[in-house]
């Protein structure tokens, strides 16, 4: 029996309670009164977090009461009630282990990931044909000059959408061909970046490789036994590296003895103390090389000391695109069709935020907008109404639209309201099950002619590639130029890179909060701290 069907059996008062006040009020506001029961039920299955609902004892018990008696009996039998116990009593007294909760989710029609991804996948030998654009080849050649001579540390600074990962994989394949056997370590934070790297290496080596090598995926629950791995690419989550080193203090040193090239994706994160220690241990050999990849070679917008620290870590060695006739390579890439030409605008929303003097002081001194201020904004009806109106406007002109929400709950709320208004809207967050996330993203990337809006929080700012996306709504206020640039970069891929000629980026702003607005200027924001002293 599907989750949606169970909610159809529940009273509307229960549905309203589970949807929450913010979502119900917004639907009421859009409907110009009290939203009809049918409208509430239409969005309930998508807006209510089933996994969270069944995780709690009281919420699970209440939910199960709305299962028909025959379905309670079927579920109880599935969970192991073979002794004829009353099904309702059995479900109430069950221990509800992780396995049983997974069984319940599957019973309700959800797909549950149970089998871990294999840790090692052979890449094999194929015909080489994995090319680079001229500006990428020039940048790669200058990176090589730094990697194998002198300090052996360098940052490759390419705008989002210009093939940072592809260029990095070309460099890795060159390294593997020239050093046999050789193990390259790719470090990154977050499942999307790690999965993207593993998939991209498979494509790259299948075209450029000269022998079978290992592709090792090491993050999350994967085993850290690398005794037999000596040749290929290890895609390593930095959190996994930290935890493995805590369990075995020689883990990173043994890995360093096997590898002489480390690549750190999103290199602006590298000066976090725990990450820095990982990199230092992996490059302890003076012959080891370190390549950082980033579209934003700075940690902050205003704290120059942090940016100086990042620059110093790489000894101020950074390779940026050079394009004749242009002072700013982003402008050139837009003119030449590698990047989409952006239309950037802001939409103001008069909210009930009303910052206090204390809020203003905190805002002025914080690295980013404090969480409690963002939470207030995300629950403001007028703010959310403006986000919804912006999506309804963009869907008239765009086939695929990304919404960057302010929180997990905000993400679900916006997707639910857009669905209630008849749009194809879905959401993904860091809490989404991997398979759900994959299914939603694949649908967003598909060639379906129906316009689709994908709301997300915390998962699509990096490691996400959807060239057909041509519009973005920035509904996540931030002081972080890094984060803002990453969000904007998701829709800026141009026609020569498989994207669109033009894109539209709308930032929904509260007049009291800071913001940004120029993607070309953002790219060169940190140049002064990388200039030689």
Maximum mean pLDDT: which of 76-90, 119-133, 205-219, 441-455 = 205-219
Q: Which residue has the tokens 């879905």?
A: 426
Does 120-320 match 330-530 in CATH topology?
Answer: yes
Q: Which range in 218-227, 253-262, 319-328, 372-381 is most confidently predicted, on average pLDDT?
A: 253-262
Is the pTM value of this prediction over 0.75?
no
Neighbours of 230 (CB within 10 A): 13
> Residue 361: in which H helix or E strand, if any?
helix 357-365
Alpha helices (H) in 395-480, listed in sequence order: 408-420, 434-445
> Does the pLDDT value for residue 10 go beyond 50?
yes
The pairing of beta strand 424-429 with beta strand 400-404? unpaired
Domain ranges of the chain: 3-107, 120-320, 330-530
For 200, 206, 533, the CA distances from 130, given in Å and listed in that order, are: 11, 9, 38
Question: Residue 113: pLDDT band by 50, 70, 90 thresholds?
Answer: low
Residue of 496, 469, 486, 471 whose CA lies nearest to 335: 496
Q: Taking the domain 330-530, which CATH number applies?
A: 3.40.50.300
pLDDT in tens, 395-453: 999 989 999 888 888 888 888 889 888 889 988 887 777 777 888 888 888 878 889 99
CATH no., domain 120-320: 3.40.50.300
Burial degree of 142 (CB within 10 A; 0-12, 13-18, 19+): middle
Rounded Cα–Cα distance for residues 369 and 152 (Å): 37
| 8 compared with 374, residue with greater pLDDT | 8
3-class SS string, 31-71: HCCCCCHHHHHHHHHHHCCHHHHHHCHHHHHHHHCCCCHHH
Distance CA 403, CA 429 (A): 12
Each residue's pLDDT tens digit, 123-142: 444 334 678 888 899 999 99
402, 472 contact by CB (below 8 A) = yes
Which helix H or strand E contains 218, and what residues bound it? Answer: strand 214-218
């Amino acid at each position: 029996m599907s989750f949606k069907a169970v909610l159809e059996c529940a009273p509307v008062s229960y549905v309203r309670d589970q949807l929450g006040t913010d979502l119900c009020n917004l639907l009421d506001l859009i409907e110009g009164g009290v939203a009809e029961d049918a409208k509430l039920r239409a969005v309930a299955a998508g807006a209510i977090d089933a996994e969270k609902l069944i995780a709690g004892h009281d919420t699970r018990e209440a939910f199960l009461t709305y299962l028909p008696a025959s379905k309670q009996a079927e579920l109880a039998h599935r969970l192991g009630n073979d002794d004829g116990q009353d099904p309702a009593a059995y479900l109430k007294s069950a221990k509800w282990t992780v396995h049983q909760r997974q069984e319940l989710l599957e019973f309700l029609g959800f797909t549950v990931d149970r089998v871990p991804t294999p840790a090692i996948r052979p890449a094999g030998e194929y015909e080489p044909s994995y090319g680079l654009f001229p500006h990428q080849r020039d940048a790669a050649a200058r990176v090589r000059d730094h990697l194998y001579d002198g300090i052996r540390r360098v940052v490759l600074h390419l705008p989002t959408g210009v093939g940072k990962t592809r260029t990095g994989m070309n460099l890795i394949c060159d390294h593997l061909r020239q050093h046999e056997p050789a193990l390259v370590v790719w470090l990154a934070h977050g499942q999307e970046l790690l999965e993207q790297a593993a998939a991209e290496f498979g494509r790259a080596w299948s075209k450029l490789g000269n022998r079978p090598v290992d592709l090792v995926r090491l993050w999350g629950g994967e085993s850290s036994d690398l005794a037999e791995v000596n040749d290929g690419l290890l895609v390593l989550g930095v959190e996994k590296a930290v935890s493995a080193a805590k369990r075995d203090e020689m883990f990173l040193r043994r890995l360093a003895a096997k590898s002489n090239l480390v690549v750190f994706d999103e290199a602006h994160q590298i000066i976090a103390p725990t990450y820095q220690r990982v990199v230092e241990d992996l490059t302890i050999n003076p012959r080891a090389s370190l390549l950082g990849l980033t579209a934003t070679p700075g940690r902050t917008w205003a704290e120059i000391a942090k940016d100086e620290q990042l620059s110093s870590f790489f000894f101020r060695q950074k390779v940026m695109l050079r394009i004749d006739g242009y002072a700013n390579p982003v402008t050139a890439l837009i003119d030449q069709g590698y990047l989409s030409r952006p239309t950037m605008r802001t939409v103001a929303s008069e909210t009930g935020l009303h910052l206090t003097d204390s809020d203003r002081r905190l805002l002025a001194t914080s690295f980013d907008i404090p969480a409690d201020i963002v939470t207030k904004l995300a629950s403001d009806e007028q703010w959310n109404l403006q986000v919804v109106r912006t999506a309804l406007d963009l869907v008239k002109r765009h086939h695929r639209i990304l919404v960057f929400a302010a929180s997990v709950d905000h993400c679900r709320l916006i997707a639910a309201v857009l669905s209630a208004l008849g749009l194809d809207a879905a959401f993904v967050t860091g809490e989404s099950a991997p398979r759900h996330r994959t299914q939603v993203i694949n649908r967003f990337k598909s060639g379906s002619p129906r316009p689709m809006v994908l709301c997300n929080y915390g998962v699509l700012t990096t490691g996400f590639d959807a060239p057909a996306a041509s519009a973005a709504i920035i509904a996540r206020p931030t002081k972080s130029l890094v984060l803002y640039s990453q969000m904007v970069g998701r829709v800026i891929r141009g026609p020569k890179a498989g994207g669109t000629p033009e894109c539209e980026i709308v930032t929904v702003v509260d007049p009291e909060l800071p913001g940004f607005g120029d993607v070309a200027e953002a790219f060169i924001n940190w140049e002064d701290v990388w200039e030689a002293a």
